[in-house]
Amino acid sequence: MFKHKNNIKRVFAMFFIFILVIEFIRSNSYLRIQYLLSYLGQEKLTSESITVDSLESEFSSNIYLKNKYLNLNGAMAGILGMQGFYSNIGIYVTDDNYIVSPSNYTTTDYEYDETVALRDFLEENGIQFLYVNEPTKYIDDNLFLNEFGIETYSNRNADKFLSRIHEANINTLDLRDNIKSEGLNIQDLFYRTDHHWTVPAGLWATKIIAQKLNDDYGYNIDLSIYNDENYVTKEWKNCWLGEQGRKVGAPYVGLDNYIEVKPTFPTSYVFIKTDGTVCDGTFDSFIDESIYKPNNDIYDSITWHYSYDRIDCINNNVANGKILIIGDSYEHVTQPFLSLGVHEVHSLIMRKFDDSFSLRNYILKNEYDTVIVAYAQFMIGAHDDETSSQYRMFKFDY
């Protein structure tokens, strides 16, 4: 009898192992083994390095029936009101299904040193400099303490950093001040399920930046081009799921709306592609409307925020100004609008480069009259974590 029971256990064990092997093969997980070995074999971190985040993404994105499990998990978390259920990946959900993420405390020393050094370099070469602080999805750190009982330092880090560079005589623009002075609700500027701000928010921010360039930098941008009556909008309801929402599931937080914004006045551009080729176009060339397909897979299709692109461009209808924006993915919906009032606008995202790229040589080669660093404030402190995809964002000294 004892031997018979052991045989039964062995059969069940073998069957369980067989199922695991089948799922391992069906999900193509075996193809990720080389990726794991490459990660373990790295000797130093570069822009091309495999990080813990990318390793986790590579494996988790290939789990068989992943999205069905994700939906089930998210539905249960929503029903049970588990706002911090995904806290291990930095995601918290408010009562109105608005996703927010905390930031750790940072000294801001690294960001301060790099920014002051960049300003000094630009000043030595007669180039103007502006730092723009782009808000995160909350402008009061008490939100986290009140809603979730934990600390976040996003706004306090930004306050400290901006105060320090202001004392170093660096001109700053803090868009949180405009949000407060205009009595805006921060949640109206952002998607519920994505960390990016909306297209209308990008247009709103651009007008404020243009005003700053007029007031302090000698520009003469016609601010009326940013008035609402000069734009046409198109809205889709419950049509896409943002990057944060894809981690917790649509049943938990629902889908986001989307608004496309385009100027009604004539536009004419020369676009400079990343491969060096040039082509003519209009403002519509910034937008890939093929992304706007509500029936696409909400988890695996391109997020709608990236329908607007950052493309170096020359505006044939404006005579003056050559600006470099050192920014982040928020600039997908600011660079196109700023280009409407400036002759030439380029942009860079520093995390895309390694030490073989010289920012200073690039700036001198292109003869910009103004450099704008425009960062979402959660970039402050990213350099504290070598595994962060934002680790190099403030590396300006080469």
Full pLDDT tens readout for the chain, 398 residues: 545 445 555 655 565 466 556 655 665 554 555 544 665 566 655 555 555 555 455 555 555 556 765 776 677 777 777 788 889 889 999 989 999 999 999 999 999 999 999 999 999 999 999 999 999 999 999 999 999 999 999 999 999 999 999 999 999 999 999 999 999 999 999 999 999 999 999 999 999 999 999 999 999 999 999 999 999 999 999 999 999 999 999 999 999 999 999 999 999 999 999 888 999 999 999 999 999 999 999 998 999 999 999 999 999 999 999 999 999 999 999 999 999 999 999 999 999 999 999 999 999 999 999 999 999 999 999 999 999 999 999 999 88
pTM of the shown model: 0.84
Domain extents in the chain:
1-64, 99-384
Query: Which residue type is seen at 169?
Result: N
* Alpha carbons 158 and 152: distance in angstroms, whole number: 12
What is the reported pLDDT for 184? Answer: 98
What DSSP line would sit under 243-254, residue for residue?
TTHHHH-HHHH-
Query: Radius of gyration (Cα) for the chain, nearest Å?
Result: 24
Tell me the three state secondary structure of residue 257. Answer: strand
Phi, psi of 76 (to 5 degrees): -65, -40
Specify the pLDDT at position 179.
98
Question: For residues 332 and 306, is the Cβ–Cβ distance under 8 A?
Answer: yes
pLDDT for the residue 90: 93
Residue 323 burial (CB count, 10 A): 24
